[in-house]
């Protein structure tokens, strides 16, 4: 299973690189701040790529998509839109970010960005291989393929502008801990928590460098959320009271400190580029610990089924649903509801756009 919503905040990443553009956005004008948006990572951003893969890690069936346009289950792991869509919309690029593997993808859509993310993927190759989904390197290979298609449908100058001036969001790492490290003895036999966080950060750094070498210049990379407070992790390791698992949260914090430092190093190394680290740990923790402040009533379990362990195929047409998903922070045991995503995206995008 893919862990997190975490990603979701990835969304926020959009760094407003110019005061003028920021002023226009905050004054209510919605110009496209970037020519396109591109997403890499896991289920927080995947808008349907896994539908085309031979894997059980899919959500192209009800009740997923319950509140999506036409009540359509598109492969997004929530009841409606995911952060990829919300970011694209708030930046004035387009309403939805299509999956690159979608058979319905048009040439026009290619011009404004696509999603390469894959549910259950991670920086650790083992994470993706176990569930037969795309590795982060596979996603990078798809981006190379995308560049060839782009050059075939538009002129060289415009293609270069799209690649060089678009915003790139990278949200990954949650599945590596939730589905690989904490759930299997294989990696724990090789690494302690500190060593594994270093391993993942090194993998993330290599990916970001490759992405930069392919011509990208505006990159936002998201840290981990408080993994121990996800409904599924509470059920699996939080004891009878289903408390947040402190050791899991500490692993997230350890990883985030190292990733933020690595991003600082890469910012100095990447000439002519802007790369930022987005820390979503505290923001998500506040939402979980004080749900009523944000209009929610339940944050320890999801809306689907018991809400304590169901996700993916375990959340299906036969599952019972909560009476009002707008009162829930989580849709299933791993992923937030669209409403939760919207609140977090609004807050974070405003914060970033208001930053010099």
Condensed to tens digits (0 to 9), the pLDDT of residues 241-283 reads 999 999 999 999 999 999 999 999 999 999 999 998 888 888 8
Q: Give domain limits for the chain.
A: 6-353
pTM of the predicted model as reported, rounded to 2 decimal places: 0.90
Asked whether the predicted pLDDT for residue 40 surpasses 90, the reply is: yes
Cis check for the bond before 27: say yes or no (omega within 30 of 0).
Answer: no
Q: Is 350 one of the catalytic residues?
A: no
What are the helix (H) ranges across the chain?
6-9, 19-26, 83-90, 107-110, 125-131, 136-153, 156-165, 174-175, 185-190, 193-213, 231-237, 246-269, 281-289, 338-353
Determine the CATH number of domain 6-353. Answer: 3.40.50.1110
Condensed to tens digits (0 to 9), the pLDDT of residues 131-175 reads 999 999 999 999 999 999 999 999 999 999 999 999 999 999 999
Mean pLDDT value across residues 70-83: 96
Condensed to tens digits (0 to 9), the pLDDT of residues 180-196 reads 999 989 999 999 999 99
Going by pLDDT thresholds of 50, 70 and 90, the confidence category of residue 28 is: very low
Look at residues 189, 163, 193 and name the one whose alpha carbon lies nearest to residue 177.
193
Q: Is 324 one of the catalytic residues?
A: no
Look at residues 114, 90, 93, 91 and name the one whose alpha carbon lies nearest to residue 102.
114
Mean pLDDT value across residues 66-77: 96
CA pair distance 13, 87, nearest whole angstrom: 9
DSSP-derived letter for residue 325 is: G
Look at residues 348, 221, 220, 215 and name the one whose alpha carbon lies nearest to residue 272.
215
Going by pLDDT thresholds of 50, 70 and 90, the confidence category of residue 350 is: low
Give the list of residues 6+ apart from residue 134 with CB closer than 8 angstroms, or none.
49, 53, 116, 118, 121, 128, 142
Q: Out of 85, 120, 166, 335, pick the active-site residue.
A: 335
Q: Out of 121, 252, 332, 333, pick the active-site residue.
A: 332
Asked whether the predicted pLDDT for residue 23 surpasses 80, the reply is: no
What is the pLDDT of the chain when averaged over all its residues? 89
Q: Out of 43, 121, 128, 300, pick the active-site residue.
A: 43
Q: Is 43 one of the catalytic residues?
A: yes
307 sits in the region (left: phi over 0; alpha: psi -120 to 50; else beta) called: left
Going by pLDDT thresholds of 50, 70 and 90, the confidence category of residue 216 is: very high
- pLDDT number for residue 19: 34
- Output the six-digit token pair for 167: 């915003």
CA pair distance 123, 42, nearest whole angstrom: 10
- Output the six-digit token pair for 268: 């100095």
Asked whether the predicted pLDDT for residue 17 surpasses 50, the reply is: no
Cα–Cα distances (Å) from 242 to 49, 126, 217, 247, 355, in that order, read: 33, 28, 43, 14, 38
Among the ranges given (24-33, 74-83, 280-289), the one the predictor scored with the smallest mean pLDDT: 24-33
In the three-class reduction of DSSP (H, G, I as helix; E, B as strand; rest coil), residue 352 is classed as helix
Going by pLDDT thresholds of 50, 70 and 90, the confidence category of residue 32 is: low
């Amino acid at each position: 299973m893919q862990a997190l919503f975490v990603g979701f905040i990835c969304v926020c990443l959009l760094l407003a690189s110019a005061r003028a553009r920021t002023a226009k956005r905050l004054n209510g004008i919605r110009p496209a701040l970037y020519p396109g948006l591109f997403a890499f990572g896991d289920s927080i951003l995947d808008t349907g790529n896994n539908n085309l893969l031979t894997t059980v890690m899919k959500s192209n069936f009800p009740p997923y998509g319950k509140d999506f346009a036409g009540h359509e289950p598109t492969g997004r792991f929530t009841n409606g839109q995911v952060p990829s869509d919300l970011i694209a919309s708030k930046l004035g690029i387009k309403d939805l970010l299509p999956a690159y593997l979608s058979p319905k993808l048009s040439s026009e859509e290619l011009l404004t960005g696509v999603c390469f993310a894959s549910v259950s993927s991670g920086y650790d190759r083992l994470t993706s291989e176990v569930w037969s989904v795309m590795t982060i390197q596979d996603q990078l290979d798809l981006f190379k393929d995308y560049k060839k298609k782009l050059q075939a449908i538009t002129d060289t100058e415009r293609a270069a502008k799209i690649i060089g001036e678009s915003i790139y969001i990278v949200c990954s790492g949650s599945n590596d801990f939730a589905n690989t490290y904490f759930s299997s003895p294989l990696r724990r036999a090789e690494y302690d928590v500190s060593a594994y966080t270093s391993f993942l950060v090194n993998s993330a750094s290599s990916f970001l460098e490759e992405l930069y070498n392919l011509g990208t210049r505006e990159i936002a990379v998201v840290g981990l959320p408080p993994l121990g407070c996800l409904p599924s992790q509470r059920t699996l390791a939080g004891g009878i009271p289903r408390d947040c698992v402190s050791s899991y949260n500490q692993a997230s914090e350890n990883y985030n400190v190292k990733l933020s430092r690595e991003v600082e190093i890469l910012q100095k190394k990447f000439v002519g580029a802007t790369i930022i680290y987005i820390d979503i740990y505290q923001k998500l923790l506040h939402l979980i610990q004080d749900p009523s402040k944000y209009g929610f009533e339940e944050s320890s379990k999801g809306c689907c089924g018991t809400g304590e362990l169901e996700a993916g195929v375990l959340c299906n047409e036969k599952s019972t649903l909560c009476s009002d998903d707008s009162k829930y922070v989580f849709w299933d045991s791993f992923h937030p509801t669209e409403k939760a995503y919207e609140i977090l995206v609004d807050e974070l995008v405003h914060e970033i756009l208001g930053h010099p």
